[in-house]
Amino acid sequence: MGCIDIEYYMPVLVMLLIQSIYAGMSLGIRVILLEGMSPRVLVVYRHASATIALAPVAYLSGRNSGSYSLNLRSFFLIFMTSLIGITLTQNLYFEGLYLIPSSIATAMTNLIPAVTFIITASVGMEKVNIRSLRTIAKIVGTLICVGGAMSITLLKGPKLLNAENLPSKSTMVTTLGSDDNWLLGCLFVLASSVAWSLWLILQVPAYASHPNYISLSAWMCLISTLQSAVVTLFLEPNLNAWKINSLLQFGCTLYSGIMGSAVVFCLQAWCITKRGPLFSAMFSPLGTVLVTVLAALLLHEEIYTGSLIGTIGVIVGLYIVLWGKAEDVIQKIDPKSAFIETEEVKFLRNESCGEASCRINLEEPLLTNVLNIKPEIESTRRS
């Protein structure tokens, strides 16, 4: 009985660990950004360390399979997926994290399911039936999420706790006032969430072309490291920006790359194969709560009434969208494994390579990420 209980609750414990890692990463990154480390340099170093951590595992996992080879189409898909999902997403997110409190940045990432629903519905990947209660739930939940995000961005309201002064490291801070920095930071994080949603969708054809998720992750981390390095050299001409000036910066960089990307990715992949993507997504607001509490206590970050109300709205909207999405998960139980397929996966699978010629193992977690979870290959998140 005891063993059965441990096995049953293990995915819950792992998800609690994942959200704790995310929370610690968000707080640590916020500290080193305020200490003066360039957000763009951090993106490069983070994914370089993630590449080093994933490369040996990817090599061993693909050693005896043909999925390790790359053709031109696979490389193009991986290149675009890395550009949108890691390079663009992380640079936007870290710039936003520099300008706004970590609690607000983390709260706004809960918009990803709603943003993904809007994108997939717009291109016909999501079935919209206004007579269905589940579809209505998706629409209402999306509207609540958007309303909560607007409240966070525009209605700061009275200050509840703490106050902080933002040092003038970012190029935006020297020319904009405090309120403008807040608005700009929220817009950066919102744009990051849109790019992240696109990344979730693009992983489906990328995985179909290169069906080894560990190898795919390693390639994306490597390519995004090179892409981010080019962006950083263009935006940071001063080579002194590449210096790591403290053990804290070095430690947080390694932590975000190894723990926040490589380790979290493997843990989340395991949880998704055990309980499915919706189970993983349900724990996202826990990270927001942890970051909000710890940031207020440890970093003395400011908390506003409007931001708190908006955060609650985003979380409530998230759960409503997830309830609506639950209908889309089709589970086919096999004696040895469970396969999870979504309408989005069917659409992209049929569009990219045809029903008969392309067979995808839907047990692999990257395919189920289309259901709007936050797996960081990052999990390159963000967090």
119-161: per-residue pLDDT in tens? 877 877 767 777 788 888 888 888 888 888 777 777 766 766 5
CA distances from 301 to 116, 180, 186, 354 (A): 30, 18, 16, 51
Pairing of strands 159-161, 338-341: unpaired
- Ranges of H-type helices in 100-177: 102-108, 112-122, 133-154
Element (H, E) at 330: strand 330-333
Count Cα neighbours of 73 within 13 Å in the Cβ-side half-sphere.
8
Element (H, E) at 322: helix 305-325
According to DSSP, the residues that pair with 332 across neighbouring strands are 339
Question: Which residues fall within 8 angstroms of residue 198, CB to CB, at 6 or more apart?
Answer: 84, 85, 119
**Single pTM value for the model:** 0.74
Alpha-carbon distance of 12 to 18, in angstroms, equals 10
Confidence category of residue 178, pLDDT binned at 50, 70, 90: low
What does the block give as tokens for 155? 């209605």
pLDDT digits (tens, 9 = 90+) for 270-296: 776 677 666 777 777 888 888 888 887
Query: Cα-Cα-Cα-Cα dihedral of 315, 339, 89, 19, to 10°?
Result: 50
Confidence category of residue 174, pLDDT binned at 50, 70, 90: very low
